[in-house]
Structure 1
């Protein structure tokens, strides 16, 4: 048990360092650079080195002062990391999954319809884009496709299906979920750098790069996460019906039985 706790603690520490502290230290370093250099000395490294040397000699005359400075730096880095994590979950993810302007949706729908030309049978109209980004559309289509196939509400069914899954499936989904939010956090860091472009113009390069790379990586990780969630539902519909006592005359879940399960799950029957 002691070894297990130590192993878990090590993994948590490594994850905290990689996801929060190290990016936070980089952020604090860049912001310090921006505050000291400004636009005038934006990329003047010799000037910055001399300025930092002077500040260090001025404010670290005693070991206690140095310890306080390092502790303050680590605290600021940790707070920045927490802010980026919160922005990823409550800001960036929501921006990627919003409905978006109607004109933009119309453009995306026309492009999708053009790709569907010649396909038989034609996909249902409900599969046309309804979200502003491809990431948001992937997550929306999880529920849309499952409802079309099984008549099942993913929102109501997912907590029960999660209970029915084994540890291997949970591990796969958990890893994919963390990967997606790591990529989302990278884009969130880009948003945190944007305000500093007023003080230090290179911040705009960092912000755009973080946003672009974060979005590109999230395109891939969201596809993996969405596929795993949908596959898990596909694999456990029969088990869910059996658990709830719903008979499957055709040996598989159909929209009729799916609606019966919905009624049970939301306590309508």
Structure 2
């Protein structure tokens, strides 16, 4: 038990250092540079060095007690900044997947729906034209087919399904729920806890990793906002914030797509196992009839 608690303590310490202390210390360093240099002397390293030398020769800095208190204060400040930014990251993640609950989010959702419907109409028109040209063996059949593929890709960039969320991330994460409902008539929200229990350790580990990547991307987005705010005092921090925001945006899309794809894949792979576990006869692939039967069993709907 002592060894177990020691191992847990080491892991918590490592996690505290990696998530809170180190990013917080880096931000405190940037804050010190911002307060010392400002916009006017943004690149004056000599000015920063002189400030550090002045602190070093201060008699109070040679006291062991003062050094210890300063070290604890710096670490506590770094941890506090890290914890605050992590909380902001959690809030950002919540906003990403939030539904249309107020006027602003409803308008954002409506705007995304209009864009998706326009892209869908353009894709269907191009698809019909390509189909007719292919049947008629027209010379431009290849070009029209390529045009239809481009229209399809443009629609998919907006959302895989008709948007129900104000932001792309929310629609991408919830897309499996709508796709599974459309394909199998299975209520994924009701089935998910059962599918999770039936999944293998490897499948759950992959999903957990994808979920962690999404959380990390949200934290990175929060850090980008922190550096953008610091840019009001020292403009190089704003550059760091913009680069961090661009990196976070890329990671968010990759993590959300990975998590959604793995969720849908787990449903496809373990749907039949769930039917068997519920005592529902299942032979062959998943069907809409089988999905409806599982949904009734999972939602305790006698009808």
Computed over aligned residues only, the root mean square deviation of the Cα atoms, in angstroms, reads 2.9
Q: Deviations over 1:50-87 (max 9, x none)?
A: 11221343341301111111111111222222222222
Aligned with 2:267: secondary structure?
Answer: helix
What does 1:223-242 correspond to in 2, within 5 Å? 223-242=257-276
Does structure 1 retain, via aligned residues, the 8 Å contact 2:97–2:167? yes
Question: CA separation in 2, counterparts of 1:139 and 1:64?
Answer: 52
- Alpha-carbon distance in 2 for matches of 1:241, 1:73: 56
2:88 counterpart of 1:54: no
- Work out which of the two has the higher radius of gyration on C-alpha atoms and give 1 or 2: 2
1:9-48 correspondence runs (5 A): 10-48=10-48
Give yes or no for contact 1:39–1:201 (8 Å, CA) kept in 2.
Answer: yes
- Inter-partner Cα distance in structure 1 for 2:207 and 2:171: 19
Moved more, 90-99 or 154-163: 90-99
* More moved, 107-116 vs 167-176: 107-116
Distance in 2 separating the partners of 1:212 and 1:158: 33
The Cα shift of 1:201 comes to 2.3
Unaligned regions of 5+ residues in structure 2, if any? Answer: 132-151
Q: Are 1:222 and 2:230 matched, yes or no?
A: no
* Distance across 1 between alignment mates of 2:270 and 2:258: 18
1:127 positional shift: 1.7
Residues in 1 aligned to 2:260 and 2:168: alpha-carbon distance in whole angstroms: 12
After superposition, the Cα gap between the structure-2 partners of 1:138 and 1:63, relative to the gap in structure 1 and judged at 3 Å, is same
SS of 2:281's partner is: coil
1:35 Cα offset (Å): 2.4
Contact 2:92 2:218 in 1 (8 A): no
Question: 1:213 is matched with which residue?
Answer: 247
Length-normalised TM-score, structure 2: 0.76
The answer on whether the counterparts of 1:176 and 1:224 sit within 8 Å (CA) in structure 2 is yes
What is the aligned counterpart of 2:296 among 257, 263, 268? 263
TM-score normalised by the chain length of structure 1: 0.84
Question: Which residue number corresponds to residue 76 of structure 2?
Answer: 75
- Offset of 1:105 from its aligned partner? 4.2
* Distance in 2 (alpha carbons) for counterparts of 1:220 and 1:126: 15
Cα pair 1:92 1:188 within 8 Å, conserved: no
